[in-house]
Structure 1
Amino acid sequence: MANIAFILLCHKDPDAIIEQANMLTTKGDYISIHFDARAKPEHLQRIRTALSNNPNVTYAKKRIKCGWGEWSLVQATLNAIEAAVDAFPRATHFYMLSGDCAAIKSAEYAHDFLDASDVDYIESFDFFESDWIKTGIKEERLIYRHFLNERKNKHAFYAGLALQQKLRMEREIPQDLQIQIGSQWWCLRRRTIESILEFTRKRKDVMRFFRSTWIPDETFFQTLVRHLIPGDQIRARTLTLLMFTDYGMPVTFYNDHYDMLLSQDYLFARKISPEAHELKERLGKMYSASEMQFQISNEGRNLFKFLTKRGRIGRRFASRFWETESTLGRERELMIILCKKWHVAKRLSKSIRQNTDIPAIDYLFNEESTDLPDLGGIGSKLHKRARHRRALLRMLFEHHNSDRMVICIDPSDLDLLQDFCSDRCTTRLLELKCDFTEDYLEGHAKRVGLAGDQTPAESITRLLPTIRRDIYYESDQIRDAEFENHVILCESDSHEWMAEQISRFLAVTQDTALNIAKTDHLFDD
């Protein structure tokens, strides 16, 4: 039968640690505690005093001052492991925990689960081939030496990195190791742990290498397990439930998560809120219970993604106030000016404002600086405007107290056009087709970052036909979509023809349309 030695890294809340240690050892398991050397000595003394009569508790013989991303976390873990190996010869498995973790299955279930398969549980994916690292530096973690903490000394950390890059101070990774990466929350068999400890005593070169890598708690054990243990004896997963927000922050569990946590295919969960006293109490009673049945649905991650995604669009449990309707309104008219030359469309929209009472708004989905009324956070950033596009337009209709409005959109925004043209409101499109000189295309390339002042002339010459084709392709896509109420004005059209099309587009008189068509320098660059 499995006997678990829990490896607990902690740095605060001594009362919670005492409670956690008593709970985890109630069914004959063990715990080895590393209490951060930065913490208050009296807190450690309180823990030792409270657990002095518990023979299943031991402590790391040497305490380390730990810092996020540093080797100190790995060294503290090794110290706690060595203490557990010496103190608990009957321990069959070693399970890594933090003070924020809590059991979400009974001890009985955990023992049966570990007995069912003679394997190690540790996330271990190829460091270079996998996409486990989402942001930040990647190979630089390994090939350069890191002695400063990025969180505490950010400027110095990156200055040191830049200096090493400048001086080409890359180092080689130990040739017999294939670096792996994964979560630090693992569960390993005793023989695996003993093999790791033996490896650390023999391979001083590897130890020197990892001591100066960045965030080694995500690579050290993961790499050594793959190096020492056959692949068919490794399950590349963690037995601790971890969930993260789309900001990269760990999800915190509260009292109302009890039923959801028990249904997940994990033995522990991280992290539990310090204020979730009811949840901790219920989980503690569950851990000690016998013959409990667990219905594993494992929907936690998908449910969290679903709810947070719906929250992003105002549909978490109820609609946000600005999403109470899904349409702009049957009675409203949205008139869209499409033009690649934004200054041309802006001249036309300005003329519309001067000659009619129709509100006309420039590139609100393309330029963050577009002049908009104060509509709260919904209009603060371009991505928010696009995400809540219909809500934004409804608010603008209401702000201007009008059922008719003109907006300018770049022809590349086909998804916006398809969305608005599928609305119940009346939507009309006016496409301005301009002539594009070589000088204009060159300026456009520089404005969008495709070329610079130092770009050779021959490179620009090769680039311009591609840019021209892209512009024509956008226009072709709009035509292929076969939108209703789509009219086109060309730079070469007569004022009379333009007036006729503008009259159809705006539903204004021919005289008003002619005044707009005769806007001074409308198509000039």
Structure 2
Amino acid sequence: MAKIAYILLCHKDPEAIIQQAEQLTAVGDYMAIHFDASADPASYALIRAALDHNPNVTFVRKRIKCGWGEWSLVQATLLAVEAAAENFSRATHFYMLSGDCMAIKTAEFTHNYLDQNDRDFIESYDFFDSNWIKTGMKEERLIYRHFFNERANKSLFYGAMELQKRLGLKRDVPNDIQVQIGSQWWCLRRQTIERILEFTHTRKDVMRFFRTTWIPDETFFQTLVRHLVNESEIETRTLTFLMFTDYGMPVTFHNDHYDLLLSQDFLFARKISPGAKELKSRLGRLYASRDVKFQISNEGRSLFKFLADQGRAGRRFGMRFWETESSLGRERELMIVVCKKWHVAKRLVENVRQVTDMPAIEYLFDEEATSLPDLGGIQSSLGKRTRHRRALMRMLFEYHDSDRLVVCMDPSNLDLMHDFFSDRSRTRLLQIDCDFTDDYLSGHARRVGLAGDRTSQATLDRLMPTIRNDITHEADRIRDADFSSHVRIRQSDNTDINAAKLMEFFSVSQDQAQQLAQTRHLFED
């Protein structure tokens, strides 16, 4: 049975640290603590007084002062790892934690999971070839020596780096290692930890290199594990559930996130809000519980993205210089069919192709797999189609040798609709209003990743009003845009009413409009 030695680096909130240590060690696991030497001495004294009697807790003998992005964080981690390895000979795994982390599975589940998955869990992506670093410095982290803290001494930090550039003091990475990068929240087996500790004593050249790199806690362990362990024994992921906002800030979890956290395919989560007392209490009790069944749906990240996007409606695409003066052509007519239920619009436009001679294209700005002719590569991806939308439309008009073209769009593409209506061509819009049952919305949530097959009904019930309001909001935004030549058909209207509107929109005969309105299974799910 797996036994875990938790490696905890902390610098504040002694009550939370004491609680965390007591909860995680109550079932037989261990903890090694490094409390920042620059933090409040009284807080450290409080922690020692509460935990010194606990045989499953050990403390680093010599604490050091830690700074964000510095080697000191790795050094503190190594000191805690050494203390854990020395004091807890029965520990099979070493799990890196922060004071903001809490278990979101039981100890029973966690131990069984590690027993069944005999590998190291650590994010490790190639430093130079991957896109893990989104902004800021990249190779400069490694090829120059960093002696100052960027946050504490910004002028000295950048001044020293610029001086090295001018003097040509660029250095090479040790030639037998391939630098990796990833999250610092790892879980490693004992044999891997022992190899790392031995490596730190024998490879002084590598240690000197990392001591002067910037943010080494994202590269040191990640690189050494790849260097020392067979790739088949590494799973490139963290077992700690964490998310970041668009601004690079970690998402904080609160009392109402309990069910969401338990349904994620992770063992721990961070950051738990200091004020989430109820959540901390429930998660603390959970770790020692037995025979708990978890329904893993893993929709957390997609759900967060969906909810975060609610406040961003209405943003316009900036006009590209090559499209500012372009036009589809005054003599051309673009007919946009808008429907949230894609299968409904697809059935209609398929019938349009059969009943009329108009070319009709399905969701070309929403579905990568939409069937399109070869237009020299402009059609190859959704990004290219959107960036070069007017050029793409002109080419489609020309390819089909027609002055009339029907295309389908999702209601969320309001920016595209605005753009096409601002063109000198004639643009029309057909909005199809459908009924949305709870069963359909549940299926929609699963199809787009907002929920999984095992998402609880309680979670779905809370999510349903948000999805329904989102769909309604998209429809309202289109109506509020006050587009000219805007026609709506409704599932709730009879065939004759819809046929009259279709005749107006497509400029077809009454018989053709009736055939379109009577499209087989048009509104069925």
Q: What range is the shorter-chain TM-score in?
A: 0.5 to 0.7
For residues 305-328 of structure 1, the C-alpha deviation after alignment (integer angstroms, 9 at most, x for no partner) is 1111233117xxxxxxxxxxxxxx
Q: Map 1:227-238 onto structure 2 (within 5 A).
A: 227-238=227-238
Q: Map 1:382-393 onto structure 2 (within 5 A).
A: 384=315, 386=316
Q: How far is the alpha carbon of 1:214 from its aligned partner?
A: 0.5
1:294 corresponds in structure 2 to 294
Confirm or deny that 1:97 pairs with 2:10.
no
**Which residue identity lines up with residue 225 of structure 2 in the other structure?**
V
Q: Map 1:335-484 onto structure 2 (within 5 A).
A: 384=315, 386=316, 411=324
Structure 2: 5+ residue stretches without partners: 339-387, 405-419, 426-525
**Which residue identity lines up with residue 216 of structure 1 in the other structure?**
P
2:75 corresponds in structure 1 to 75
Q: Which secondary structure state, in structure 2, belongs to the residue aligned with residue 188 of structure 1?
A: strand
For residues 195-244 of structure 1, the C-alpha deviation after alignment (integer angstroms, 9 at most, x for no partner) is 10000001111100000000000000000011111111111110000101
Does the aligned pair in 2 maintain the 1:9–1:97 contact within 8 Å?
Answer: yes
The verdict on how the C-alpha distance between 1:474 and 1:299 changes in structure 2, with shifts beyond 3 A counting, is closer
For residues 354-389 of structure 1, the C-alpha deviation after alignment (integer angstroms, 9 at most, x for no partner) is xxxxxxxxxxxxxxxxxxxxxxxxxxxxxx5x2699
Does the aligned pair in 2 maintain the 1:313–1:388 contact within 8 Å?
Answer: no
The separation in 2 between residues aligned to 1:413 and 1:272, in whole angstroms, is 51
The verdict on how the C-alpha distance between 1:478 and 1:63 changes in structure 2, with shifts beyond 3 A counting, is same
Q: How far is the alpha carbon of 1:478 from its aligned partner?
A: 12
Q: Which secondary structure state, in structure 1, belongs to the residue aligned with residue 97 of structure 2?
A: strand
1:121 corresponds in structure 2 to 121
The separation in 1 between residues aligned to 2:24 and 2:70, in whole angstroms, is 28
**Which residue identity lines up with residue 128 of structure 2 in the other structure?**
F
**Which residue identity lines up with residue 259 of structure 2 in the other structure?**
D
Structure 1: 5+ residue stretches without partners: 315-383, 390-408, 425-469, 489-525
The separation in 2 between residues aligned to 1:152 and 1:262, in whole angstroms, is 38
Q: How far is the alpha carbon of 1:149 from its aligned partner?
A: 1.0
Does the aligned pair in 1 maintain the 2:327–2:423 contact within 8 Å?
Answer: no
For residues 409-449 of structure 1, the C-alpha deviation after alignment (integer angstroms, 9 at most, x for no partner) is 9725879x99x99699xxxxxxxxxxxxxxxxxxxxxxxxx
Q: Map 1:20-419 onto structure 2 (within 5 A).
A: 20-313=20-313, 384=315, 386=316, 411=324
The separation in 2 between residues aligned to 1:149 and 1:484, in whole angstroms, is 53
Q: How far is the alpha carbon of 1:473 from its aligned partner?
A: 7.3
The separation in 2 between residues aligned to 1:296 and 1:475, in whole angstroms, is 43
**Which residue identity lines up with residue 167 of structure 2 in the other structure?**
L
For residues 10-69 of structure 1, the C-alpha deviation after alignment (integer angstroms, 9 at most, x for no partner) is 000000000000000010000000000111111111001011221100001111111111
Q: Which secondary structure state, in structure 2, belongs to the residue aligned with residue 32 of structure 1?
A: strand
Q: TM-score, normalised by structure 2?
A: 0.63
Segments ≥4 residues shifted beyond 4 Å: 412-415, 420-424, 472-488
Does the aligned pair in 2 maintain the 1:412–1:474 contact within 8 Å?
Answer: no
Q: How far is the alpha carbon of 1:157 from its aligned partner?
A: 1.4
The verdict on how the C-alpha distance between 1:186 and 1:199 changes in structure 2, with shifts beyond 3 A counting, is same
Number of aligned residues: 352
The separation in 2 between residues aligned to 1:485 and 1:52, in whole angstroms, is 72
Q: TM-score, normalised by structure 1?
A: 0.63
The separation in 2 between residues aligned to 1:476 and 1:90, in whole angstroms, is 70
Q: Which secondary structure state, in structure 2, belongs to the residue aligned with residue 111 of structure 1?
A: helix
Q: Which secondary structure state, in structure 1, belongs to the residue aligned with residue 130 of structure 2?
A: coil
Does the aligned pair in 2 maintain the 1:411–1:474 contact within 8 Å?
Answer: no
Q: How far is the alpha carbon of 1:9 from its aligned partner?
A: 0.4
The verdict on how the C-alpha distance between 1:19 and 1:423 changes in structure 2, with shifts beyond 3 A counting, is same
For residues 52-106 of structure 1, the C-alpha deviation after alignment (integer angstroms, 9 at most, x for no partner) is 2211000011111111110000000000011111111111100000000000000
State the identity %. Answer: 63
The separation in 2 between residues aligned to 1:9 and 1:192, in whole angstroms, is 20
**Which residue identity lines up with residue 324 of structure 2 in the other structure?**
P
The separation in 2 between residues aligned to 1:138 and 1:43, in whole angstroms, is 37
Does the aligned pair in 1 maintain the 2:263–2:296 contact within 8 Å?
Answer: yes
**Which residue identity lines up with residue 158 of structure 2 in the other structure?**
Y
